[in-house]
């Protein structure tokens, strides 16, 4: 049995779902993978829950946000570095908000974990998008892994497909529907809604964030295609390297025109290799019925890899919610120890 210490940063929707999933899957992970996954700390902005005891923190799954700071294991002012300095090495599970200007607070947390010789499984995107090379070089230097399925379309296995299933093949192009929210909105517009109506409906149903700009304007898809390209194709793309257009400007007339040609409009993260160089972009493209992503509708996501030796390989589906993201984090942790 391998004992794995874990610390979660960010106790929001994803962090909370991860803790609940851990409790649900603890026995399964022991029996199937020989992994004893022990949560020892959950770090918030002003302190954290901490237990150094064998088995760590248990019974947190039912804890509401309001109960965190009155829990017996709460340590006001506890920092991640303090927790890491006491615990055996394991995995940082990074679930703080994504900030694409500074990468914080995830950047500082990931740097602290790597410095202390901990692996990282990240759901947040900011630090990895802004400091990809530096963080992965640091991980290699420290002999640890950074996994980011949670940041690259979560339950849809984009990185695992590209880096494991397609190993040895050269990826010549990628098309991805990487954001479920925008795919859903385009579908509702196809059915006759205006952009504003479709967005409002998505917000009412909890599909779109109260501040939907990152999804709607293509930034979320840009982060994902960038991380997939850098991980799978050895590029060193930054956000400034790819043109990004979202779905805000799409009109009913655009959708009707595509439809009259038998096509659908999809927001795609796209990577193409030309003359030995890769170019990435995010935009709205007409997709033909023969394209593997044509039938990916609603909040579903999908990705297709075009390769030199394996033809094209498409993966579709995968839950888009916090539980699906938590499952992607758990998968990354299991695979770190395989
Ligand atoms: N939601 C999804 O389905 C999904 C899917 C894929 C990826 N992601 C990514 O996963 C991350 C978390 O998403 P989420 O939906 O769980 O967001 P969320 O509900 O807003 O949770 C983020 C949590 O981080 C806490 N936090 C803020 N600053 C912190 C700090 N300095 N130290 C420790 N904790 C801090 C927040 O606390 P306060 O409430 O006190 O600010 C909040 O509890 C994001 O980066 C997001 O892009 C989310």
Over the stretch 168-196, which tens digit does the pLDDT of each residue have?
A: 999 999 999 999 999 999 999 999 999 99
Mean pLDDT, the chain, integer: 96
Q: Among positive and negative, which fits the CA dihedral 330, 332, 336, 338? A: positive
Q: Does the annotation count 264 as an active-site position?
A: no
* Pocket residue to mutate for ligand 1, from 123, 150, 158, most atoms within 8 A of Cβ: 123
Residue 215: closest CA among 177, 241, 188: 177
Annotated catalytic residue within 224, 266, 319, 331: 224
How confident is the model at residue 154, as a pLDDT? 94
Q: Is the pTM value of this prediction over 0.85?
A: yes
- Rounded to 10 deg, the angle between the 13-33 and 322-336 helix axes is 40
For the CA of 98, the closest atom of ligand 1 is 45
Q: Is the CB of 150 under 6 A from ligand 1?
A: yes
pLDDT tens digits for range 107-141: 999 999 999 999 999 999 999 999 999 999 999 99
Ligand 1 center–CA 61 separation, angstroms: 17
Please choose, from the candidates 15, 40, 29, the residue with its C-alpha nearest in 3D space to the C-alpha of residue 91: 40
The tokens for 293 are 């992503």
By alpha-carbon position, which residue is closest to atom 21 of ligand 1? 12
Nearest one of 194, 155, 163 to 302, comparing CA atoms: 155
Q: How far apart are CA 60 and CA 43, in angstroms?
A: 13
Report the distance separating Cα 287 and Cα 276, nearest Å. Answer: 25
pLDDT band at 309 (very low <50, low <70, confident <90, very high): very high
Residue 163, judged by CB atoms within 10 A of its CB (0-12, 13-18, 19+), counts as middle
């Amino acid at each position: 049995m391998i004992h794995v210490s874990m610390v979660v940063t960010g106790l929001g929707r994803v962090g909370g779902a991860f803790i609940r999933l851990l409790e649900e899957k603890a026995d399964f992970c022991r029996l199937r993978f020989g992994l004893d996954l022990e949560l020892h700390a959950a770090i918030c902005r002003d302190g954290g829950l901490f237990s150094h005891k064998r088995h760590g923190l248990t019974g947190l799954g039912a804890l509401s946000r309001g109960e965190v700071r009155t829990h017996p294991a709460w340590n006001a002012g506890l920092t991640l570095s303090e927790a890491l300095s006491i615990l055996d090495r394991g995995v940082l599970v990074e679930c703080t908000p994504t900030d694409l200007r500074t990468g914080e607070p995830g950047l500082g947390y990931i740097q602290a974990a790597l410095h202390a010789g901990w692996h990282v499984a990240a759901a947040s995107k900011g630090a990895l998008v802004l400091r990809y090379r530096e963080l992965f070089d640091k991980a290699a230097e420290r002999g640890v892994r950074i996994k980011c399925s949670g940041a690259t379309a979560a339950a849809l296995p984009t990185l695992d497909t590209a880096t494991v299933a397609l190993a040895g093949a050269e990826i010549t192009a990628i098309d991805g529907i990487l954001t479920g929210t925008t795919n859903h909105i385009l579908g509702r517009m196809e059915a006759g809604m205006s952009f504003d109506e479709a967005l409002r409906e998505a917000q009412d149903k909890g599909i779109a964030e109260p501040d939907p700009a990152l999804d709607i304007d293509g930034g979320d898809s840009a982060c994902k295609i960038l991380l997939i390209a850098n991980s799978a194709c050895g590029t060193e793309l930054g956000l400034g390297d790819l043109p990004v257009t979202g779905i805000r400007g799409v009109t009913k007339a655009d959708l009707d025109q595509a439809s009259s040609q038998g096509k659908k409009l999809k927001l795609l993260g796209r990577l193409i290799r030309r003359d030995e160089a890769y170019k990435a972009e995010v935009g709205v493209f007409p997709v033909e019925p023969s394209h593997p992503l044509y039938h990916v509708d609603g909040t579903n996501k999908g990705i297709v890899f075009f390769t030199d030796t394996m033809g094209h390989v498409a993966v579709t589906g995968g839950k888009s919610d916090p539980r699906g993201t938590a499952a992607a984090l758990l998968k990354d942790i299991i695979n770190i120890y395989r």
